[in-house]
Chain A
Amino acid sequence: EPEVTQTPSHQVTQMGQEVILRCVPISNHLYFYWYRQILGQKVEFLVSFYNNEISEKSEIFDDQFSVERPDGSNFTLKIRSTKLEDSAMYFCATLTGGSYNEQFFGPGTRLTVL
């Protein structure tokens, strides 16, 4: 069964450093999302992406964040200058187009900012 993959599974970085989290969506899925989940808290929406541009973004998704599809397959989330409060699990998710029947999450990247 096709699945969403994410790399790395765990990233440890120093405050102020840039990180890039990578996602490989299910092929033929058209809609892509990034979410985060701080330990012990609920899942929060960051951004959605369709047709090579951002569809919607939350208040969390400020100028420190960016997304792109650099090669038509990978979908990346960049955090330019990480803060301690960026420590969280980051999930990529993809949605089938057309009938919008299913949305699948990747396994997540645990980001730890020291």
Chain B
Amino acid sequence: EDKVVQSPLSLVVHEGDTVTLNCSYEVTNFRSLLWYKQEKKAPTFLFMLTSSGIEKKSGRLSSILDKKELFSILNITATQTGDSAVYLCVKNTNAGKSTFGDGTTLTVKP
């Protein structure tokens, strides 16, 4: 069975801190690795990664994929209370199947 493992499962930080969220996956039929932010509604797209070693950035968020070691990280610098959410890591296969991790619940305290 395809597995996506995220760590930590939860994290509490203070505003201004930098956080690193981890995601490991199984190599079977890999096409892309996606990161989403989910608050009390639908997931919001953050990044899609297909190539190893190429960092994607959007403001204070960045992400990178290591296809050799089968993991990805999501970095958030200078965290704000609005970053509090569940961050989802998703692996998509060539055939079109998606496998979700359990998510990392990030709480940013003022």
Contact = CB atoms under 8 A, between A and B. Distances in A.
Which of the listed residues A31, A42, A108 has the most CB atoms from chain B within 10 Å of its own CB? A42
A103 B101 CA distance: 17
Contacts of A105: 36, 42-45
Interface stretch (A11-19, A44-52, A79-87): A44-52
Interface string A38-71: 0000111100111000011010000000000000
B45 A104 contact: yes
A103 B36 CA distance: 10
Query: Is chain B's binding surface mostly helix, strand, loop or mixed?
Result: strand
How big is chain B's contact interface, by range?
A: 20 to 34
Interface in B19-56: 31-32, 34, 36, 38, 41-45, 48, 50
Nearest to A43: B100
A33 interface: yes
A106 B42 contact: yes
Contacts of B43: 43, 91, 105
Contact of B31 (A45, A50, A100): A100
Interface string A12-32: 000000000000000000010
Nearest to A31: B96
Contact of B96 (A35, A42, A43, A48): A48
Given A43-B90, A91-B43, A105-B44, 6 more contacts: A42-B101, A48-B95, A49-B96, A105-B36, A105-B45, A107-B42
Interface of B: 31-32, 34, 36, 38, 41-45, 48, 50, 88, 90, 92-93, 95-103
